[in-house]
Structure 1
Amino acid sequence: MRRLREEHDGRGQCDPKIPATSIPYVDATGKVVYLTHEGHVLNVDGSLRVAPGASDSGGHGIGDGREIPSVALNHGVAVFTMRKTFAECMLERLFAIKWHDAEAFYKHEPSRVELMSEYLRRGALWANELGGTRKWPFFDIAERIAPSVQVPPELSAQLQTYIEQNIGGISTEYACHAALRWATLRDTHQKLPDLEDPFEPLITLYERGGEIIADETRAFDFGIQSVRVRAWREHLSSEPCTSLDPAALDALDAEKAYRRNGIWRTT
């Protein structure tokens, strides 16, 4: 390690601002950086690159699309753990969804109704930010922001194979691809508009009961309740429809229980 530090310091010695106990490693851009035991990431000149727990707007630290490695000492040896990219995490979430879960479909109807409304609200805000959209309610926001950013081919192929085996609706297929591309855009660390994640309500909705497809009246039918898709401008609002906190969503579902005869009763 000492030799590595000397090779990448123009004077053949460590910058005095870099603690002797810091650990060098090469990031994805080929640059040597140093990780201190306090969790700081330093450049070769000793300047601070990333503070402990700090990240950019995308939630990452080092510029390869991954978070900075977390470090722990195991009998005096530093152990690094690299975390997955946003795109990899999105793919795992999609693969874990039970797309045809009838029990969850009815159990979580109240929260799914609110989550769809929240997705439409957030989507409308992004459409407004980007000057409108012809495709609605699902549109590729990442493509509008950065057309050159593409999903890694291996991830795109995995998703398409999974969709063909598990998902029936064309609109759901499009939404999943758009969500994965959005996650890929987040991995680039590009500065984005100060708006909430557009796809999180939709993915959470899928996780709480599977696929939902709009009918011929452009309404998402959740059983007793439905959400009608209006022109995107009509969904604009600064007020959230619901919290995405799992406990809050569970509490919303717990307010009412569904019976097979279609009657709601307070629990």
Structure 2
Amino acid sequence: MERITAVEWRPRGDETHPASCAALMREHLRRVALWADLLETPEWPYPSLARIFDNTVQVPEDSREELLRYLEENVIFAHVSMLCRHMVEWACVLDRTKLPLPGLPDPYEPLLILFERGGEFRVENNRWAEFPPWFVPLKERDRSASEKPLSALDGRTLDAIDEENRFPYRRHE
């Protein structure tokens, strides 16, 4: 929860890292698809993996209330708030579950890094995640699962993605 509350939720139009944020969203969807397949859930693209994996684990009431209050005051889009709740629920599962975890990558780390790099994103017609000028399709789960993994999630790799995909125009102030 600490990393979520440390995010600088930027206003729309202040996209500093659009290409890397789009790449992080594709990686998040890829990882969620792997987990969703393993857990055999039909929910897509935003399954609550924590509840599906171990519905006995709950976010402590005081933390849940603090998170909800924080999201209401700082986050614009409902889907972003929902994803933040999913991340905190997942962290609780990792901390408290007695079930064995499979060797799959953390489904929410790319999304958390996306928020840390660029704040919120908009979803268009429940079909596209928008990182202007980039759009990431919220495609079928099997197509997301078969995406090539992002090579690394570190700042240097992500900055290189932004540099390689920079558009040749400059925004006017």
Residue 130 (structure 2) pairs with residue 221 (structure 1): yes
**TM alignment of 1:112-151, pairs within 5 A:** 112-134=21-43, 136-151=44-59
Q: One-letter code of the match for 1:255? A: E
Q: Is the 8 A contact 1:139 1:175 kept in 2?
A: no
Instruction: Compute the displacement of 1:241 (Å).
Output: 3.0
SS of equivalent to 1:235:
helix
Q: One-letter code of the match for 1:92? A: E
Unaligned runs of 5+ in 1: 1-90, 263-267
Tell me the distance in 2 between the aligned counterparts of 1:252 and 1:234.
22
SS of equivalent to 1:119:
helix
| One of 58, 69, 75 as aligned partner of 1:167 | 75
CA RMSD of aligned residues (A): 2.0
Instruction: Compute the displacement of 1:232 (Å).
Output: 1.2
With over 3 angstroms needed to count, the CA separation of the structure-2 counterparts of 1:205 and 1:151, relative to structure 1, is: same
| One of 234, 239, 251 as aligned partner of 2:143 | 234
Tell me the distance in 2 between the aligned counterparts of 1:141 and 1:165.
25
Residue 70 (structure 2) pairs with residue 176 (structure 1): no
Higher helix share: 2
Q: Is the 8 A contact 1:100 1:209 kept in 2?
A: yes
Tell me the distance in 2 between the aligned counterparts of 1:150 and 1:158.
14
SS of equivalent to 1:241:
coil
With over 3 angstroms needed to count, the CA separation of the structure-2 counterparts of 1:114 and 1:196, relative to structure 1, is: same
* TM-score computed with the length of structure 1 as normaliser: 0.59
Q: One-letter code of the match for 2:19? A: P
Q: Is the 8 A contact 1:101 1:209 kept in 2?
A: no
Tell me the distance in 2 between the aligned counterparts of 1:218 and 1:131.
22
Percent identity over the alignment? 35
Residue 170 (structure 2) pairs with residue 260 (structure 1): yes
Alignment match, 2:10? 100
Alignment match, 2:117? 208
Higher strand share: 1
With over 3 angstroms needed to count, the CA separation of the structure-2 counterparts of 1:168 and 1:189, relative to structure 1, is: same
| One of 107, 110, 124 as aligned partner of 2:19 | 110
Unaligned runs of 5+ in 2: none
Q: Is the 8 A contact 2:22 2:131 kept in 1?
A: yes
| One of 57, 60, 70 as aligned partner of 1:152 | 60
Partner deviation per Cα, 1:180-234 (whole Å, 9 max, x = no partner): 0100111125321110000001111011110112111611121111101112122
Tell me the distance in 2 between the aligned counterparts of 1:163 and 1:131.
30
**TM alignment of 1:29-44, pairs within 5 A:** none
SS of equivalent to 2:55:
coil
Structure of greater Rg: 1
Q: One-letter code of the match for 1:174? A: M
Partner deviation per Cα, 1:85-108 (whole Å, 9 max, x = no partner): xxxxxx111111111255762x21
Instruction: Compute the displacement of 1:236 (Å).
Output: 1.4
Tell me the distance in 2 between the aligned counterparts of 1:169 and 1:155.
21
